[in-house]
Chain A
Amino acid sequence: MNLIAISALVLLIGAALSILLRSNVQRVAASLLTQAIATVCVVMTTLPILAQPGTELRDVFTWSYPVDQIAVHLDALGAFFLVWSLPMVLLGSIYAVGYLRPSFGTRHVGAHFALLNLTALSFLMIYTLESAIVFLLGWEIAAVCAWLLVIWDYGNQKIRFAGFNYLVSTHLGLFFLVAALMVLHSQTGSMDFESFSTFLNTPSTLRDTTFLLLVIAFGLKSAFFPFHTWLPRAHSAAPAHVSALMSGVIHKAGLFGLLRFTLLIKNPEAWMGWTLIGFSALSAVVGALYSTSQRDLKRLLGYSSTENVGIAGMAFGVGTLGLCWQQPTLVALGFTGGILHILNHAIFKCLLFYAAGGVYQSTHTVDLERLGGLLRKLPWVGLCFLVGGLAIAGMPGLNGFTSEFLIFGSLLEPVPVGGLERTALVFAAAVLAMVGGISAFAVVRSFGLTFLGVPRDPAVHPKTPTHPAMLLTMGVHAAGILAIGLAPDLAFRLVAAPARLFTQLVPAAAPRAVDPVALLAPIANLAALLIVIVGGLVLLRGWLATRAPARTHVTWSCGYPAPTARIQYTGTSFTAPLSRLFAGVLPMLRREKLPVGPFPQSGDYLHTHSVDAVERRMFELIGNSDQLVTETAAKISEESRLSFGLGLLVLVIMIGLLFAGKLGLL
């Protein structure tokens, strides 16, 4: 426990030093050094907790009024989140050294690194503290740090707007969280999480309300649909490492909150599980769909975060159902799969943002319609993007598949539940499969357009080679993806302990649980077999090539004699078949001046822009709601007896419901 306090102190000192020291190099060194010390301390504290089931750390610090005492309670769940959050912030800071290198001569970068230190500190608070007040403080530090990190390039008005948009949204979530905590405080008279447990254990309407408030608050933090509108803007505006840390690490706090409160609720009702599954499935589908239509690489990755928290949320929903139905298989697979997916998503999403940052640093654009053929210029960045992209699409042999396989297991493993429930779970699996297909679409599209083919815009010249610090960070993440993909056991050492907290809640007398480790064992072998066969085929083709050597020629362009780079498929045309099918969800704005006549003059154009439907309608509603109401009202005929009768009926039902609620019939 002392180590946690020491690392908090060290991080604060580092933050102070990186503002006060004289040169940028010293400031960055102070930040990195203190973060490294804190990381070592935290890993040394958390690993024993994760290794031995049932161990936890407790301590009490005294502070001034009104908090008085800060109870520290580090259990396996908090330890799991800490054990990768701090190292990943450190890696992100190392990446930042390379990414912000051009600014070292012109700007004070110390503040930026101090904020990274404070972000790490906020994790220490969120994941270890028992007192809700100080938890909220950590929550706020994380939010404000993220905002200030996003507006690094604050001279740009668009970036300031994205920053404020984020700040407002995250505080809307805070209102819901405060509301939930106020309800809990009023019912228990305490602000400690553990004391909420008895209230949350007993079914009541107030408990249900609290649950919904919490889901909304944490959903906003983790950017679930439809609370995601801030996310694509913030992610495309922020520096790459900030996008990476926000998407991969900082916003996982929302899912942590969800898990923490599920542990406190202990005996959830079935509707809670179904709500979570439905809400998350919606996020997954819509997030995936949006990630197929973006032309800004980082915006695209932002939407894919909405998709992936949805996937994890679906797993937690199944786990919640398992807790309700006392089915240890569902609990084990759901929570293990979901928690593993959080870790996996942190690894591959950070890698993808880092690779996108590498592209931006070299070409000064992340516009898919202008890129192309970068794999030859930036081979390592491209390779990392490919590994991360295939992992996020859940391809076998990489880490994304391990967690998605477990989540599919939780939905499809036959456990004795009712016919209707089984139907719903299989249907959810089909939805998840579709999400997988769409996310594979988004990955091949973004990688193919950015790194393959020939450059679309001759004005884009990749010049700057990627800084070694950036390559180092990317390499570590890519190694993590491969390691977990090929040897899932490694990840189980981290995931088993937090998952056990949930499986403990099911009585031991319940039927046998499917062991996630056993379920995944054949997968690792399958990946190994795949690699062996591909290796064999490469050798075989090499042998064939000794007899009939390969030659190179231009791409077959179907007899067209003057191909240019512009005739390649663009991002918009690639998505067209899909976006036409989902036109209601994926609104596409077109501005066009099409050529006329046999010899069209120049000046023709066609611009398409994929916008966020929720954001668009939200602003529409805010801006023109009075007009909308008037228009709707004008459509209702005043004379018709039918509409009068229907209105009366609705009124009677509403009054009836009101009374029924008052009398406690509902």
Chain B
Amino acid sequence: MTILAHLAALLLLPIVLVGIINRTRARWSGRKGPPILQGGFDLWRLLKKRPVYSEVTTGIFRLAPLVVLATTFVSGLLVPLVGRAAPLSFALDFVALAYLWALGRALMILAALDTGSPFEGMGASREATWAALAEPGLFLALGTLAAASGHSSFAELLPVQAVTPAAIVVRVGCALTLFLILQLEAARVPIDDPSTHLELTMIHEVMILDHSGPDLAALQYATGLKLTIGAGLIAALLNPLGPGEPAIWVAAVSLGLTFAVAIAIGCVEALTARLQLKAVPTYLVLGSLVGLLALLTAAFDFGARR
């Protein structure tokens, strides 16, 4: 039952969350905005289209979108999106998640280089650089939670245990770091702008310039999945319901918080400008520093407990 709910969430949330973000942005600019499920219609239309492949590309270009989708989907099975449990849960599953994403990203970058297009090479270079800079933040945040909770799988390290001031600081700090990483991975403002039309300023969008039809659908869906996973992680982290509460409530609160994260992303997009490219590393290092702060707080906390 939980697994079915989880799979349904993985199928629907990527579309719904993107819809919510777009709606939020539209509201801030005084428009009505597209329907919530517009992303779904777009995907359906793309699936029926004929793909076009560049003459210079090899099999890697054709394989990459599918690997990106598969790795993101599998990583989605590791994170508790509905309630407390995830379909797949094992020790250090967060390391597996980070490396699954890395595999998808590597194939994505290779596909971009495969086209021989200068713009795609540029996007690839930026994507690879930012990813390397964001990696420590992810591990600091999740490693801190693992150290603070004494467990090393998502299902055990995310739920609240003791509510102390230090624990709250740790949680909020880790959530902030994860939010930054979510902005990077899902290619959102202020790091990247999904609706930009200038190739020179694109990062993620420029890498998928040459993908079309079902391949493009796979990539867009995978980005939505990443958004879902990141938002779900933050929701599970901020979920205040303790272990005693019924699972259905936990699931409902998590879902509500996931939508709240999407609205937050939309608000950031509507209210802030995109960062200058040279400011992105600073922004990412800032995220890591917040994670480090959380780690130090946690160390202080369990230093006091011992």
Contacts and interface: CB of A to CB of B under 8 A. Distances in A.
Interface of A: 372-373, 375-376, 386, 390, 393-397, 401, 404-405, 408-409, 411-414, 418-420, 422-423, 426-427, 429-434, 436-438, 440-441, 443-445, 447-449, 452-454, 514, 519, 521-523, 526, 529-530, 533-534, 537-538, 541, 544-545, 547-558, 565, 567-569, 573-578, 581
A581 B281 contact: yes
A390 B99 CA distance: 11
A160 to B, nearest CB: 36
Contacts of B47: 544
B95 A448 contact: no
Contacts of B66: 534, 537-538, 541
A438 B50 CA distance: 36
A545 B133 CA distance: 38
Contacts of A427: 140, 292, 295
Give the 3 A-B CB pairs with smallest separation, nearest first: A569-B121, A419-B303, A448-B113
Nearest to A382: B58
Contact of B146 (A414, A440, A552): A414
Contact of A553 (B52, B137, B302): B52
Interface of B: 47-58, 60, 63, 66-67, 69-71, 73-74, 88, 90-93, 95-96, 98-100, 102-103, 105-106, 109-110, 113-119, 121-122, 124-126, 128-129, 131-140, 143-144, 146-147, 149-152, 199, 209-210, 213-215, 218, 277, 281, 288, 291-292, 295-296, 298-303, 306
Contact of A530 (B74, B126, B218, B303): B74
Contacts of A438: 132
Given A437-B132, A440-B132, A534-B67, A418 B306 contact: yes
Contacts, number: 269
A430 B143 contact: yes
Given A423-B296, A522-B96, 20 more contacts: A372-B116, A390-B103, A397-B103, A405-B92, A405-B99, A409-B91, A414-B149, A418-B303, A436-B135, A440-B102, A440-B106, A448-B124, A452-B60, A533-B74, A557-B119, A568-B121, A569-B113, A574-B125, A578-B132, A581-B129
Contacts of B117: 555-558, 568
A548 B116 contact: no
A395 to B, nearest CB: 4
Contact of B122 (A397, A419, A569): A569
B281 to A, nearest CB: 6
Contact of A396 (B48, B103, B218, B302): B103
B146 to A, nearest CB: 6
A426 B144 contact: yes
Contacts of A420: 299, 303
A444 B67 contact: no
A522 B56 contact: no
B128 A444 contact: yes
Given A533-B73, A574-B125, A526 B96 contact: yes
Contacts of B136: 430-431, 433-434
B33 to A, nearest CB: 29
Given A396-B100, A537-B218, A568-B116, A555 B122 contact: no
B92 A452 contact: no
A541 to B, nearest CB: 5
A426 B92 contact: no
B118 A436 contact: no
A514 B91 CA distance: 10
A426 B50 contact: no
9 contacts: A375-B60, A393-B102, A396-B96, A414-B151, A427-B295, A430-B143, A441-B132, A544-B48, A569-B124
Contacts of B209: 556
Given A414-B147, A534-B67, A430 B140 contact: yes
B106 A437 contact: no
Given A373-B56, A394-B99, A565 B113 contact: no
Contacts of A390: 103, 106
A166 to B, nearest CB: 30
Given A395-B99, A408-B92, A574-B124, A452 B116 contact: yes
Contacts of A557: 117-119
A552 B92 contact: no
Contact of A569 (B49, B53, B69, B125): B125
B143 A440 contact: no
A123 B299 CA distance: 45
A414 B152 contact: yes
Contacts of B114: 448, 452-453
Contacts of B118: 557, 567-569
Nearest to B59: A375
Contact of B54 (A434, A529, A534, A554): A554
Contacts of B126: 577
Nearest to A579: B129
B50 to A, nearest CB: 4
B82 to A, nearest CB: 20
A422 B148 CA distance: 10
Residue of A405, A452, A534, A554 with most partner-chain B CB within 10 A? A452
Given A444-B110, A575-B125, A529 B74 contact: yes
A408 B70 CA distance: 24
Contacts of B133: 434, 437, 581
Nearest to B128: A441
Nearest to B71: A530
A529 B66 CA distance: 14
A555 B116 contact: yes
Contacts of B152: 409, 412-414
Given A395-B99, A419-B299, A533-B73, A430 B139 contact: yes
Contact of B95 (A412, A434, A581): A412
A426 B58 contact: no
Nearest to A569: B121
Contacts of B140: 426-427, 430
Residue of B74, B96, B139 with most partner-chain A CB within 10 A? B139
B128 A558 contact: no
A425 B255 CA distance: 34
A519 B115 contact: no
A393 to B, nearest CB: 7
B176 to A, nearest CB: 16
Given A430-B139, A556-B210, A413 B106 contact: no
Given A430-B136, A556-B210, A577-B126, A423 B95 contact: no
Contact of B121 (A430, A526, A534, A573): A573
Residue of B47, B88, B116, B277 with most partner-chain A CB within 10 A? B116
Contacts of B303: 418-420
Contacts of B295: 423, 426-427
A433 B138 CA distance: 9
A441 B277 CA distance: 18
Contact of A574 (B52, B91, B121): B121
Given A436-B135, A448-B110, A412 B143 contact: yes
Nearest to A554: B55
A551 B49 CA distance: 11
A533 B113 CA distance: 25
Contacts of B146: 412, 414, 426
Given A534-B70, A565-B116, A573 B125 contact: yes
Contacts of A404: 99
A537 B47 CA distance: 13
